[in-house]
Structure 1
Amino acid sequence: MDAEVDVEALVRRAEELIAVESVAERPAALLQALDRVLASLPPGLTVERFESGGKPSALVYAGSRRHFRAILNGHLDVVPGTPDLFRPRREGDRLHGRGAHDMKVAALVMAAVFATLAEELPVALQLVTDEEVGGLHGTAHQIARGVTADFVVIGEQSALRVVTESRGLLHARMWAGGHTAHAAYPWLGDNALLTLMGGVSAVLDRYPVPAEEQWTTTVNLARIETPNGAYNQVPDSATAWLDIRYPAGDPDLEGRSPAELARHLGDLAGLPVTVEAVSPPHRVDPGRPEVGLLQAAARAVGYSGELLRKHGAGDGRHYAAAGIDAVAFGPAGDGQHSAAEWVDVRSIAPYHGALVAFLRSLPI
């Protein structure tokens, strides 16, 4: 079967897919996006459907389920956006729209690659719809149902570089109490929000925001709230949401249990902390043969294939937790999660070619 891809036809399918507002809050749209990609595949393949937490996903392969030599993983959900972001537009070599770069185009390319090689190689196509909200009901759910492979390629944007490392993720809430009073008489109260701000500042003193890109632990203050419904009240409680990203090797955070992490952050802040979610850092040995083969495939189509670290967490961490190595490898573009998101159409054919060459180079 010919390994080339019709780029213009794929862009047209991508435009249709980008127009589907497949955000977490729209379960019908998530299913519509999944069905559109599945409809692009040839008949005769096994389509195993999953559903968890209202999020549909699928695993596609030839014949019966087995341990796969490789899995191509793509997510079809996107972060919310204004209506105009779901009206794709082409400007020269750039295709703009929500999900163009993260990662509907990559998912369609992966589907095309899989369609080429499904009968030839022991590979599978994994399509999920919840990566942007944690991946527990898509990739992690399928792994829990026995889906395994030697190696996984996730189509997250990378300009055909190979992402072998990403930071861990920790979501925590910090709480402070006080007692209320009339705002005109603040000395009669104890402002919980001021106490909370002191605790947040203490955590940020330990993990300051870098002035430029650094491979280090960072803390984002995502939200502060009180139960106040009026200006003229001293708040008697306050809560902060913290999004913490940490690399492998952080002695404070790596390998700690949620209770230990909560205790560490609470000691820094001098306030109660609860850990809502934690995922460890993800790292693949750069010397693994599959990494070298993927780099070689990227170089063969004119890209550097260099190794890359990613600051954000992805579904690779679920495979890492199961002892399965996964890398991110996607097309070129920029602006994911922003109003300026775009994918470089010129990278579609090389991306397709590199994936085909990589899979065919794998020792079976």
Structure 2
Amino acid sequence: MKLPVDPVENLVTLIRCPSVTPAEGGALAALEAMVKPLGMSVDRPVFDEPGEASVENLYARFGSEGPHLMFAGHTDVVPAGDEAAWSHPPFGGVIDNGILYGRGAVDMKGGIACFVAAVARYVEKHGAPKGSISLLITGDEEGPAVNGTVKLLQWAAERGETWDASIVGEPTCPQALGDMIKIGRRGSLSGRVTVSGRQGHVAYPHLADNPVRGLLSLAEALLNPALDSGTEQFPATNLEITSIDVGNPATNVIPAKASFAFNIRFNDLWNAERLKAEIELRLRAAAEDKRFRSGREEPVQFELKWVGNVSPVFLTHDEKLINTLSASIEAVTGRTPELSTTGGTSDARFIKDYCPVVEFGLVGQTMHMVDERVAVADLEELTRIYLRFLEDWFG
């Protein structure tokens, strides 16, 4: 029986499955066909949520004893955009001059293809490991992340699954394969502030109350001073105003309302409760600021709404996991990886509640872009890193 030892062949197969969130697109079926010859049991639970699309997921495992290593990732991809702008069809899996093109090549079907190849090579070389390996693969990472990893973890845990460590195969390397491992992630918190005023004619401002004036004070208060200057493991907490909305097409009308949205990426000096309290404190103080509202004695009237779910900050301290992966990378590539917490959120934010987790995968420079692509040589090298890690971690 043929084992899926070739990461390039694995990836071409996965890319040719148009699994744009939330569509399964054949990707999970293809993955199941790859891992079944390894002797892995496979489940493909579908999860639902009112108001959201149903999402199919995959959980595969072989072995019944510890230690138990989980590899986590996603087969769903973002839309291709203008397919005519691509050098090769986005779901064609074309190799041109040593480069493999396709949506999901690096984010993150490439990581899955390499890990499956590494497991196959391990089995071919050593037989079953003295422990267990599982794949926890979702179809809902690029979407709302409601019917994906968070529910798949709960589903598996309810069936008695426990894990000792996890690698998420996201594209973590900024420049060259092996230059970075993600050992944590900043938290994420979003909100919207709406300022109420009174509509009127711009030539008669005394008869109106321009909400944009108050909005300026509130926005400035969130931006300055900085929330902190960073920690040993994390960069400074950063708040960005992401939109300002008035909804007023007329140039001679003072609007009745104005709002702005913001997102905060926060480090381990904060949790959601403390950060929300700080934002609310700043807004209340700024509401008394009359610099832009001369002649107005009443404070700015505003409403703050928190938007979406909070992604918590986390940092992994598991020395065996981090040191074994770092040593494997250095042995294969000669590079000493930087241990980083930069970047956005990932499904590691859910996994960290179940076991220590790190992220390591391909170079991510072309993810979500037209002509997303990966060097064939990098696929082989990442497979060798994963194989070395499996040998050392189970050794």
- TM-score if structure 1 supplies the norm length? 0.82
Secondary structure of 1:153 counterpart: strand
Please report how far the alpha carbon of residue 40 of structure 1 lies from its aligned counterpart in structure 2 after TM superposition.
Answer: 2.8
Map Cα deviations across residues 206-249 of structure 1 (whole Å, 9 max, x no partner). 339x9xxx921112222222344655543212222212111223
Residues 73 and 155, structure 1, Cα contact 8 Å, conserved in 2 = yes
Correspondent of 2:112 among 107, 110, 130: 107
Secondary structure of 1:142 counterpart: helix
1:94 aligns with 2:93: no
Please report how far the alpha carbon of residue 81 of structure 1 lies from its aligned counterpart in structure 2 after TM superposition.
Answer: 4.5
C-alpha distance 13-224 of structure 1, shift in aligned 2 (>3 A): same
Give the structure 1 partner of residue 145 of structure 2: 135
Please report how far the alpha carbon of residue 83 of structure 1 lies from its aligned counterpart in structure 2 after TM superposition.
Answer: 3.1
1:22 aligns with 2:17: no
Residues 181 and 360, structure 2, Cα contact 8 Å, conserved in 1 = yes
Q: Report the more deviating stretch, 258-267 or 276-285.
A: 258-267
Give the structure 1 partner of residue 42 of structure 2: 47
Give the structure 1 partner of residue 211 of structure 2: 192
How far apart in 2 are the matches of 1:4 and 1:302?
Answer: 23
How far apart in 1 are the matches of 2:282 and 2:79?
Answer: 31
Identity of aligned residues (%): 25
Residues 4 and 10, structure 2, Cα contact 8 Å, conserved in 1 = no
1:260 aligns with 2:300: no
Map Cα deviations across residues 90-110 of structure 1 (whole Å, 9 max, x no partner). 453433443222212112222
Give the structure 2 partner of residue 291 of structure 1: 322
How far apart in 2 are the matches of 1:79 and 1:193?
Answer: 36
How far apart in 1 are the matches of 2:66 and 2:245?
Answer: 47
Residues 334 and 343, structure 1, Cα contact 8 Å, conserved in 2 = no
Correspondent of 1:155 among 169, 173, 176: 169
Correspondent of 2:263 among 243, 251, 261: 243
Map Cα deviations across residues 92-151 of structure 1 (whole Å, 9 max, x no partner). 343344322221211222233345557434010011122234534322112223153111
1:175 aligns with 2:207: no
How far apart in 2 are the matches of 1:94 and 1:113?
Answer: 20
1:10 aligns with 2:42: no
How far apart in 2 are the matches of 1:340 and 1:127?
Answer: 24
How far apart in 1 are the matches of 2:112 and 2:3?
Answer: 17
Give the structure 2 partner of residue 315 of structure 1: 347
Give the superposed CA RMSD: 3.3
Secondary structure of 1:244 counterpart: strand
After TM superposition, the structure 1 = structure 2 runs for residues 50-129 of structure 1, keeping only pairs within 5 Å, are: 50=45, 51-53=47-49, 54-62=54-62, 69-84=68-83, 87-88=89-90, 90-116=95-121, 119-120=128-129, 121-129=131-139
Long gaps (5+) in structure 2? 288-301
How far apart in 1 are the matches of 2:207 and 2:335?
Answer: 65
Amino acid at match of 1:57: N
C-alpha distance 81-124 of structure 1, shift in aligned 2 (>3 A): same
Residues 173 and 274, structure 1, Cα contact 8 Å, conserved in 2 = yes
Amino acid at match of 1:248: D
Residues 221 and 282, structure 2, Cα contact 8 Å, conserved in 1 = no
Correspondent of 1:272 among 303, 315, 325: 303
Amino acid at match of 1:343: V
Give the structure 1 partner of residue 295 of structure 2: none
Residues 258 and 278, structure 1, Cα contact 8 Å, conserved in 2 = no
Residues 218 and 245, structure 1, Cα contact 8 Å, conserved in 2 = yes
Please report how far the alpha carbon of residue 32 of structure 1 lies from its aligned counterpart in structure 2 after TM superposition.
Answer: 3.3
Please report how far the alpha carbon of residue 60 of structure 1 lies from its aligned counterpart in structure 2 after TM superposition.
Answer: 0.7
C-alpha distance 83-235 of structure 1, shift in aligned 2 (>3 A): same
Amino acid at match of 1:75: H
C-alpha distance 331-229 of structure 1, shift in aligned 2 (>3 A): same
CA radius of gyration, larger in: 2
- TM-score if structure 2 supplies the norm length? 0.76
Map Cα deviations across residues 319-363 of structure 1 (whole Å, 9 max, x no partner). 22x152110010234132333643232111121121122123224
Q: Report the more deviating stretch, 124-133 or 141-150.
A: 141-150
Map Cα deviations across residues 25-75 of structure 1 (whole Å, 9 max, x no partner). xx3x235333333333335532222324322211111367x8761100111
Give the structure 2 partner of residue 32 of structure 1: 26
Residues 63 and 132, structure 2, Cα contact 8 Å, conserved in 1 = no
How far apart in 2 are the matches of 1:138 and 1:192?
Answer: 41
Long gaps (5+) in structure 1? none
How far apart in 2 are the matches of 1:265 and 1:342?
Answer: 45
Amino acid at match of 1:260: A
Give the structure 1 partner of residue 220 of structure 2: 201
Residues 333 and 344, structure 1, Cα contact 8 Å, conserved in 2 = no
Map Cα deviations across residues 274-332 of structure 1 (whole Å, 9 max, x no partner). 222312212112x6112111111112212424123322121111122x15211001023
